[in-house]
Structure 1
Amino acid sequence: MNICYVHTADFAEHKGSSIHVKELIRHLSRLHHIVLLVNRWDGSTLEGVHVVEMNCFKLWRVVWRALFSVLYVTRILISENIDLFYAKSPLEGCVTTLLGKLFGIPSIYEVNGLIAEEYKMKGEGTIHVFISSLLEDIAVNHAEHLICVTQWIKENLLLRGVPESKLTVVENGADADVFTFIENAKKILNLDPEKHYVGYIGTLKAWQGLDYMLSAVPLVQEKVPETVVLIVGEGELMEWLLQSIREKGLQNVVVTGEVEHEMVPLYISACDVCLVLKKPLSSGYSPLKLYEYMACERPVVASRVEGFECLEEEKAGILVDQEDPVEVADAVVTLLKDEELREDMGKRGREFVLKSHTWEKVAQDVSEAALALNQKLKAN
């Protein structure tokens, strides 16, 4: 099957959504021929993938992305025999579903969250939220099939009247070959081997709950003074984060900024405990970082929100009320004081990822959904 995957992002920025796409494409290309439409590519080679770059103008970027997407998708249709469109953002989902109707090509739209809720949490303007929600509605209603990354997204869409036959849940994954525990990670990074490191590695965004983490830091360090908090990543909250650390007078909090994606497993491995204290979303979570932490055999302290139940079910971490700094701190301290428990949880976490959340499995599930849709349409 020839699949045109449209994700008009700048892959050189290494954002979580781009990593998701790249990993899925890398494994999906072993099963199908992929034409990948992006804004700018990072220069890497993916076997079996034809990458098409748009390089659209930065000024009024959303407008240009829409126009360039229509133009470049049309050009791809002229030069390639496309069997299926695949998209994962409202704008691209709208473009592919509408062009798909025009040219008689089915489309799959991947729903990663409820856009209005996420954008309001980010503080986006009313007009931006309205337009994005409108585009999302068009994509959801007109795509032939929807991939939901959480069960809670599926349930929300069912309440909106989307037929269950149109929905497939495929959660995110991790690259277990890359994300694996690295011995002597602290030494390699020139970190003090006598210190305990509690880490957050990811984007600095509104829903990541960084404020919850900062509130728990003094309580952890009071009971385990040799604790260092390691924050690795970049994002819109960087200025707020640095200012908050200064205002709270926090000690032994290291903020590295963004690191190369290849270095991320090293930083995760250097942490004795990893944190995922996300704010609740009605769509739930299927977080890349959680699975990457678990793949690296790190015990995790995470929010008790939809999508993280596997930590308790697999005994791979501790779930907490993220808004209670005492509960967060107690969970971290429990792990820091029990090396055997940390190792046991870490091993259980990796076993879970290998069993259920590799990108190979994600690609296989997406491929099965695509083939089933193709057969269904042919039968009709």
Structure 2
Amino acid sequence: ILAGEVGIYKRPSSAEAQLQRQKSCAEAGRRPSLAHFRAHTEEKSETEVEPEDVTLGELLYTMGPGKPVGMTNLMKASPNWSSGQCLEDCKIILITASDFDRVLKTHLSQGWEEKNNFLLHHLLGFQEFARNFNSGPGKTHASYMFAREKVRKGHMFLRQGDVADGALYVLCKGSVEFYRSGPSAYRSAGERLVVSLRHPVAAKQLPQDGFRVPGQRLSGGGGDRRECTMLPGGLFGSMHVSGIAGAAEPFTVVASQPCEVFACTGSNFPRLPYKILEAVRAYLAKVSALREGGFGAYLASIPAVGSAQVSSSRDLETPKYQWPPTAKEAPKRLRIVRSMPSLLEISLGQAAEGSLSPGKRSQQPIQGVSSLASGRSSSQAASA
């Protein structure tokens, strides 16, 4: 689509239509007549032709300039499961199926494989969705709902105070920084959830740990203070992702260098499988509860670790021990994410071995660390 807007419609199947008619009759307090039943349940012959004025069905979503219509069907070589209709005068580029197969399909297939593998390792719930997904008419894989986007340094994904639409981003390359105006204390549970969503993060870390100290002001942003920095593999999104639609964004999110992200925005966001959103939200709730319990960390990162990768809320374990544990027992008790140590595990484990003590700080950056709250250093957290 070069200009204009296209609506995507889907007609219900015969079974869905029959169920809807029965529901309508039930709501009206009457049973469907035998003639009505026969008229709508007789199977259509293979040669029957649909009338031209048949309804297009329910409007699912709309697509604007820059969006391809019909690409999913060409990629899967499957029949059209939906109809597209111009909602206004449109200007389009028409690509035939033969040209698509000859010029674009191989390139797009390679890009899809790369995107699918990355999301399998970094998007919560995606592995479980992929295992249970059965392709068929009307079914679209969740990976098609994420578009690869390249942005320049300084690009603003979200602005503090704005009420943003649903948007979920998985950071592929580069880094993004989170700024906020006012005090750095997080004043509501909703805000804590959004902070937890951005992982891996590096806030309030010492320069010796390989991260910059927060406090840098956003250029031209007045009193905006940098709270944390996200590295590749992290995911973030609007408040809508956390299930708090209509709430103002607590952070301004800016690309600190040229970035690549897989973005699920606009008309794609409502189509995102609920299982994926459910897994993300369950994880946020778990992290928020652990943080309320006194862990003093925003969030442990989730690196790509193959089969040990968290794919659903069932892979998260709540510690069943009294807090705080002794330094000797800490490596066993703080197993928050199966097969993946958190920063607290690493720090307390090193303290138990005598390799990390007050006044002694690690000079090497720790891959996939979590942020420490209250501005304490790693050694102070370990001694605490």
TM-score, length of structure 1 as denominator length: 0.24
Instruction: Identify which of structures 1 and 2 has the higher relative contact order when contacts are C-alpha pairs closer than 8 Å and 6+ apart.
Output: 2
Q: Which has the larger radius of gyration?
A: 2
The structure in which a higher percent of residues are helix is 1
TM-score, length of structure 2 as denominator length: 0.24
